[in-house]
Amino acid sequence: MNWEIVIGLETHAQLKTQSKIFSGASTAFGAAPNVQACAVDLALPGVLPVLNKAAVECAIRFGLSVGANVAPRSVFARKNYFYPDLPKGYQISQFELPVVIGGQLAIQVGQGDKSYEKIVHLTRAHLEEDAGKSLHEDFHGKSGIDLNRAGTPLLEIVTEPDMCSSAEAVAYAKALHALVQWIGICDGNMQEGSFRCDANVSVRRPGGLLGTRREIKNLNSFRFMQQAIDYEVKWQIETLEDGGRIEQATVLFDPDTGETRAMR
Ligand code: ADP
Ligand code: MG
Rounded (10°) angle between helices 53-65 and 166-182: 130
- Compute the average pLDDT of residues 3-15: 98
- Compute the average pLDDT of residues 66-82: 97
Q: What is the pLDDT of residue 6?
A: 98
Report the separation in Å between the CA atom of 141 and the middle of ligand 2, taken as the mean of its atom positions: 30
Q: Is the pLDDT of residue 219 over 70?
A: yes
Is any ligand 1 atom within 6 A of the Cβ of residue 105?
A: no
The pLDDT-based confidence of 1 (bands split at 50, 70, 90) is low
Question: Over pLDDT 70: what percentage of the chain?
Answer: 99
Q: Are 82 and 94 a contacting pair, CB within 8 Å?
A: no
- Provide the residues around ligand 2 (an ion) whose CB is within 5 A: 10
- Taking CA atoms only, the protein residue closest to ligand 1 atom 3 is 215
The pLDDT-based confidence of 86 (bands split at 50, 70, 90) is very high
The pLDDT-based confidence of 55 (bands split at 50, 70, 90) is very high
Q: Give one DSSP letter per residue of 38-56, joined into a string.
A: -HHHHT-TT------HHHH
Q: Which is the closest atom of ligand 1 to the Cα of 202?
A: 24
Q: For all residues of the chain together, what is the average pLDDT?
A: 96
Report the separation in Å between the CA atom of 121 and the middle of ligand 1, taken as the mean of its atom positions: 13
Distance CA 127, CA 21 (A): 9
pTM: 0.96
Q: Is the pLDDT of residue 182 over 80?
A: yes
Cβ-based burial of 80 (10 A; exposed 0-12, middle 13-18, buried ≥19): exposed
Ligand nearest to the CA of 93: 1
- Compute the average pLDDT of residues 191-217: 96
Q: Which is the closest atom of ligand 1 to the Cα of 201?
A: 25
- Compute the average pLDDT of residues 257-261: 94
Distance CA 39, CA 155 (A): 23
- Compute the average pLDDT of residues 118-137: 95
The pLDDT-based confidence of 52 (bands split at 50, 70, 90) is very high
The pLDDT-based confidence of 264 (bands split at 50, 70, 90) is low
Is any ligand 1 atom within 6 A of the Cβ of residue 4?
A: no
Is any ligand 1 atom within 6 A of the Cβ of residue 214?
A: no
Is any ligand 1 atom within 6 A of the Cβ of residue 200?
A: yes
Q: Are 108 and 143 a contacting pair, CB within 8 Å?
A: no
Distance CA 143, CA 138 (A): 9
Q: What is the pLDDT of residue 138?
A: 78
- Compute the average pLDDT of residues 194-198: 98
Is any ligand 1 atom within 6 A of the Cβ of residue 11?
A: no
Report the separation in Å between the CA atom of 216 and the middle of ligand 2, taken as the mean of its atom positions: 9
Q: Which residues of 96-107 are buried (b: 16+ CB within 10 A; e: fewer)?
A: eebbbbbbebeb
- Compute the average pLDDT of residues 184-189: 98
Q: Is the pLDDT of residue 140 over 90?
A: no
- Taking CA atoms only, the protein residue closest to ligand 1 atom 11 is 8
The pLDDT-based confidence of 37 (bands split at 50, 70, 90) is very high
Q: Are 150 and 42 a contacting pair, CB within 8 Å?
A: yes
Q: Are 194 and 30 a contacting pair, CB within 8 Å?
A: no
Is any ligand 1 atom within 6 A of the Cβ of residue 210?
A: yes
Q: Is the pLDDT of residue 176 over 90?
A: yes
